[in-house]
Structure 1
Amino acid sequence: MPLTNHHSEEEVNQLFSRVAGKYDLMNNVISLGTQRAWRKALFNQLQVGPGADCLDLCCGTGDLTIALAEQVGRTGRVIGLDFNQEMLKLAEKKARARELQKDIELVQADAMHLPFKDNSFDVVTIGFGLRNVPDANQVLREVQRVLRPGGVFGCLEMSQPTNPIVRLGWKGYFTLFPVFAKVFGGNYQDYRYLKKTSQAFVSATELKHMMEEAKLTAVTVTKLNLGAGAVHTGYKA
Structure 2
Amino acid sequence: MHTIHRARASLFGLFHHGSLYDRLISQGFRPLYARVTADVTAASPGAGTRVLDVGTGPGRVPLAIARALPALRVEGLDLSAEMIDLARRNAAEAGLGDRVDFTVADVADLPYPGESFDLIVSSMSQHHWPDAAAGMRELRRVLRPGGRVWIYDFRFALRRAEAAARAAFPGYRIRREPVRTGRLPVRLIGRLVVEPS
Q: TM-score, normalised by structure 2?
A: 0.80
The offset of 1:144, in angstroms, is 1.0
In structure 1, runs of 5+ residues without a counterpart are: 161-201
Which of 10, 22, 38 matches 2:20?
22
Q: Give the 3 Å change call, closer, same or farther, for CA 233–13 of structure 1 in structure 2.
A: same
Q: Corresponding residue for 1:40?
A: 34
Task: Tell whether the 8 Å contact from 2:126 to 2:161 is kept in structure 1 after alignment.
Answer: no
Q: Corresponding residue for 2:62?
A: 65
2:23 alignment partner, SS class: helix
Task: Tell whether the 8 Å contact from 2:77 to 2:104 is kept in structure 1 after alignment.
Answer: yes
Which whole-Å deviations, capped at 9, do the CAs of 1:134-189 have from their partners, x for residues lacking one? 212211111111000111111111233xxxxxxxxxxxxxxxxxxxxxxxxxxxxx
One-letter code aligned to 1:115: P
One-letter code aligned to 1:94: N
Q: Give the 3 Å change call, closer, same or farther, for CA 112–57 of structure 1 in structure 2.
A: same
Q: Give the 3 Å change call, closer, same or farther, for CA 81–28 of structure 1 in structure 2.
A: closer
CA RMSD of aligned residues (A): 2.8
Q: Corresponding residue for 1:208?
A: 162
Which of 88, 91, 94 matches 1:92?
88
Which whole-Å deviations, capped at 9, do the CAs of 1:54-98 have from their partners, x for residues lacking one? 11111110011112222442x432211112111112111211122
The offset of 1:48, in angstroms, is 5.0
Cα distance in structure 2, aligned partners of 1:88 and 1:127: 16
- Counting only pairs closer than 5 Å after superposition, residues 111-150 of structure 1 correspond to structure 2 as 111-150=107-146
Cα distance in structure 2, aligned partners of 1:231 and 1:8: 25
The offset of 1:122, in angstroms, is 0.5
More helix by share: 1
Q: Give the 3 Å change call, closer, same or farther, for CA 76–44 of structure 1 in structure 2.
A: closer
Which fold has the larger relative contact order, with Cα–Cα distance below 8 Å and residues 6 or more apart in sequence?
1
2:111 alignment partner, SS class: coil
In structure 2, runs of 5+ residues without a counterpart are: none
Q: Give the 3 Å change call, closer, same or farther, for CA 112–156 of structure 1 in structure 2.
A: same
Aligned residues: 185
2:13 alignment partner, SS class: helix
Cα distance in structure 2, aligned partners of 1:221 and 1:55: 20
Cα distance in structure 2, aligned partners of 1:131 and 1:82: 14
> Which one has a bigger Cα radius of gyration?
1
